[in-house]
Structure 1
Amino acid sequence: MKPIVEKLPLSQNTSFVARTYRTPHFEVPWHQHIEYELILFLEGEGTAFIGNYIGEFRTDDVFFLGSNLPHTFQKAHKDLVTAAVVVQFTDDFWGPGFMQLPESKSILKLFTVAMQGLNVQGAARQQLKSLLIELEHLQGFARIIRLCECLQLIATTHEYETVSTQEVKTFHAKNKDRIDRIFQFTIDNFQEPIALNDVASTAGMSVPAFCSYFKKCTKKTYVDFLNEVRIGHACKLLIDTQKTVLEISYESGFNTLANFNKQFLKLKQLTPSGFRKNFRIQEQSSYSTDEYRTLNQ
Structure 2
Amino acid sequence: MKEFFGQVLKVENSTFTLADANMYHALNSFHSHQEMELIYIKSGEGTFSIGDTSKRISGDTMILIGPNVPHMFKFETNRYYDYAMKHAKPPVPLQLLTLHFDPNKLGHDFLTLPENRILKNLLTEAKKGLLIDKGLKMTVVEYLLKIETSLYYERLPLLLQLLNKIGESEEILNLSDYKDTNLFKKIDETRLTMIYLFTMDNFYKEIKLKEIAAIVHMVPNAFCYYFKSRTGRTYFDFLIAVRIEHACKLLRENNESITSVCNDAGFSNLSNFNRYFKLQTGKSPLEYRRTFRH
TM-score range, shorter chain: 0.7 to 0.9
RMSD over aligned Cα atoms: 3.0
1:59 Cα shift?
A: 3.6
1:95 Cα shift?
A: 6.8
Q: Of 269, 272, 287, which residue of structure 1 is paired with 2:285?
A: 272
Q: Is the 8 A contact 2:53 2:176 kept in 1?
A: yes
The 3 A distance-change label for structure 1 pair 224 and 133 is farther
Partner of 1:128: 140
Aligned length: 276
Q: Of 128, 132, 157, which residue of structure 2 is paired with 1:145?
A: 157
Partner of 1:208: 221
Structure 1 residues 13-24: aligned runs within 5 Å: 13-22=13-22
The 3 A distance-change label for structure 1 pair 82 and 26 is farther
Partner of 2:245: 232
1:13 Cα shift?
A: 2.4
The 3 A distance-change label for structure 1 pair 56 and 132 is farther
The 3 A distance-change label for structure 1 pair 242 and 6 is farther
1:209 Cα shift?
A: 2.5
What is the TM-score normalised by the length of structure 2? Answer: 0.79
1:110 Cα shift?
A: 1.6
1:280 Cα shift?
A: 0.7
The range that moved more, 42-51 or 221-230, is 42-51
Structure 1 residues 94-113: aligned runs within 5 Å: 98-113=110-125
1:275 Cα shift?
A: 1.3
CA deviation map 1:13-58 (0-9, x unaligned): 2332212223x56893134233211112323444322222122334
1:242 Cα shift?
A: 3.2
1:87 Cα shift?
A: 0.8
The 3 A distance-change label for structure 1 pair 182 and 79 is closer
Q: Is the 8 A contact 2:28 2:193 kept in 1?
A: no
What residue ranges of structure 1 are gaps of 5+ in the alignment? 282-297
CA deviation map 1:77-115 (0-9, x unaligned): 452133232111112345786435443343123212211
Partner of 2:87: none
Q: Is the 8 A contact 1:26 1:82 kept in 2?
A: no
Q: Distance in 2 between matches of 1:253 and 1:106?
A: 43
1:152 Cα shift?
A: 0.6
What residue ranges of structure 2 are gaps of 5+ in the alignment? 77-81, 85-89
Q: Distance in 2 between matches of 1:236 and 1:45?
A: 11
Q: Distance in 2 between matches of 1:276 and 1:134?
A: 39
Q: Distance in 1 between matches of 2:108 and 2:276?
A: 49
Q: What SS does the aligned partner of 1:86 have?
A: strand
Q: Distance in 2 between matches of 1:166 and 1:232?
A: 19
CA deviation map 1:109-160 (0-9, x unaligned): 3212211111124543342243234444545233323321220112222542
Q: Is the 8 A contact 2:136 2:166 kept in 1?
A: yes
Q: Is the 8 A contact 1:48 1:57 kept in 2?
A: yes
Q: What SS does the aligned partner of 1:49 have?
A: strand
Structure 1 residues 25-44: aligned runs within 5 Å: 28-32=27-31, 33-44=33-44
Q: What SS does the aligned partner of 2:104 have?
A: coil
The 3 A distance-change label for structure 1 pair 151 and 164 is same
Q: Is the 8 A contact 1:26 1:83 kept in 2?
A: no
The range that moved more, 117-126 or 261-270, is 117-126
1:232 Cα shift?
A: 0.9
Query: Partner amino acid for 1:72?
Result: F
CA deviation map 1:163-198 (0-9, x unaligned): 223345221524454344322332333233211111
